[in-house]
Amino acid sequence: MKVRSFILLLITAIVWGFGFVAQSSGSETIGAFTFTCIRSLLGAVVLVPFILVREKNRKKQTQEQKPSIKRLVFASVCCGTVLAIAQNLQQIGIHYTTVGKAGFITAMYIVLVPILGVFLKKKIGLFVWIGVFFAVAGLYLLNMTGAGEGLAGFSIGTGEIAVLLCALFFAIQIILVDHFLPTVDEVKLAALQFLTCGIVSGIAMFVVERPGLAQILQAWLPILYAGVCSTGIGYTLQIIGQKGLSPTVSSLVMSMESVFAVVGGFLLLHERLTVVELIGCSLMMIAIVLAQLPQPERKD
C-alpha cells in the first residue's frame, strides 16, 4: 500500500513539474488570465466524473451527516479566489523567468505555511527556522547575475517577484483549505475552487486581455496539459496517494515537482541553470525538506 501511494505521489510530482513547461509554453501565446481561466475550468470538469463515481460508491448518509452546501460554497469561493490570485501570479512570473527557477520559488509555500501559522498562534519549530535560512540563501543564489559581484550581483526581476508572491498566496490557500476540510468534502471543494478560480480569472481575462479564438487554439496543447493533467488528474492522484502515507512524507514526495520542473525545462525548453543557480536550487530543496521534518520536542 505504501509503495503504491509513493508511486502515485511521485507521478503527481512529475505531472506537476512538467506542468511548469506547459505554462511557460502557453505564456508565449496567450495572456495569464486566459490560460488560468481555461485550465481551471477544464480541471473542474475533469473532477466531475471522479466525484460522481465516488458518490455512487459511498454509503448513503443521513440528512444530519451531510455537510452544509452553504459551507461548501463559501469555502470554495474563499479558496478559489485566493487560488486565482496565486495561479495568475505564477503564470505571469513564468513568462519572465525560467521554468526551473519558477518551480523552486513556488515550492517556497512549504516553508511559508508554518511561518504564516504564527499569526494563528501556532509554534514554529527549529527546523523551520533553519529551513527559512536555507530558503533565503537559495533564493539569493538563484538570482545572482554575475560571479564574484557579492551583494551587487543580486538582481530579482518581475518574474521572480511574481512567483514569490504566488508562493505566498499558495501558502494562504493551503491554510484556508486546511481550515475548511474538516467540514466539507475535499474533492467537491477542489472542483468548486477550480470553478471559482476559472470564473475570477475569466472576469479579469475579458477586462484586461480579450483573447481571440485563434490565440487560444494555438495554445491548445499547453492548456490541455495544464487543465487535464496538472489540475484534474494531478489532484485526483494526490487524493488517492495521500491515503497511504503520512502528511509529512506526502509533502516531501510532492515537493519533488520543483526538481522535475528543472528537468522539464532542460529537456523540452533547453533551459540551462548555472552552477551557482543549481546550488541555489539545492539549498531551497534542503529548506523544503527541513520544513517537513518532525520538529524536536522541547524539554521543560
List the one residue out of 49, 75, 288, 23 whose CA is nearest residue 181.
75
- Residue 275 is predicted with a pLDDT of 83
Tell me the Cα Rg of the chain: 19
- Residue 148 is predicted with a pLDDT of 46
**Strand partners of residue 154:** 144
∠ Cα 174 175 180 (to 5°): 95
Give every residue of the chain whose pLDDT is below 50, as ranges.
62-64, 146-151, 300
- Residue 64 is predicted with a pLDDT of 46
- Residue 120 is predicted with a pLDDT of 73
Whole-model pTM above 0.85?
no
The C-alpha atoms of residue 2 and residue 69 are separated, in whole angstroms, by: 34
